[in-house]
């Protein structure tokens, strides 16, 4: 069964990414994140599906993000430094990131079969 990815921005806007699609989030991405924050990367996070797993990659050059989920198999949040990639666990996760102008949370829900 194909699963969707649902994103909710810090501003409360939402989007669904379907299998076969990819999405780039950032100040000037497909999905706007902190569009008024000049410190936010134009292209920051890329989401796509690899086989049955949704992935997120930090495509920025200096900001980091933390992926946290109650279903994560690690002992804490996964730190996504620039040019790193992580699998998104099933259920709801939070992607948290900070710029010099503010702190933000992106809600990411990977649908279950």
Each residue's pLDDT tens digit, 43-88 = 999 999 998 899 999 999 999 999 998 765 666 799 999 999 999 9
Structural domains in the chain? 5-110 (2.60.200.20)
- Residues 65, 82 contacting (CB under 8 angstroms): no
Q: Provide the token pair at 111.
A: 């649908």
- Residues 110, 9 contacting (CB under 8 angstroms): no
Round to whole Å and give the CA distance between 80 and 5: 18
pLDDT value of position 113: 61
DSSP structure class, residue 28: T
Q: Is the pTM of this model over 0.85?
A: yes
First and final C-alpha spacing in the chain: 6
DSSP structure class, residue 27: T
């Amino acid at each position: 069964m194909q699963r969707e990815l649902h994103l909710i921005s810090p501003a409360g806007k939402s989007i669904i990414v379907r299998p076969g699609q990819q999405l780039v989030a950032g100040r000037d991405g497909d999905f706007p994140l902190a569009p008024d924050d000049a410190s936010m990367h134009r292209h920051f996070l890329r989401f796509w599906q690899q086989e049955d797993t949704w992935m997120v990659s930090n495509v920025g050059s200096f900001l980091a993000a933390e992926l946290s989920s109650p279903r994560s198999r690690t002992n804490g949040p996964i730190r996504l430094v620039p040019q790193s990639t992580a699998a998104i666990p099933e259920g709801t996760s939070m992607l948290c990131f900070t710029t010099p102008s503010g702190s933000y949370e992106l809600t990411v829900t990977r649908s279950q079969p």
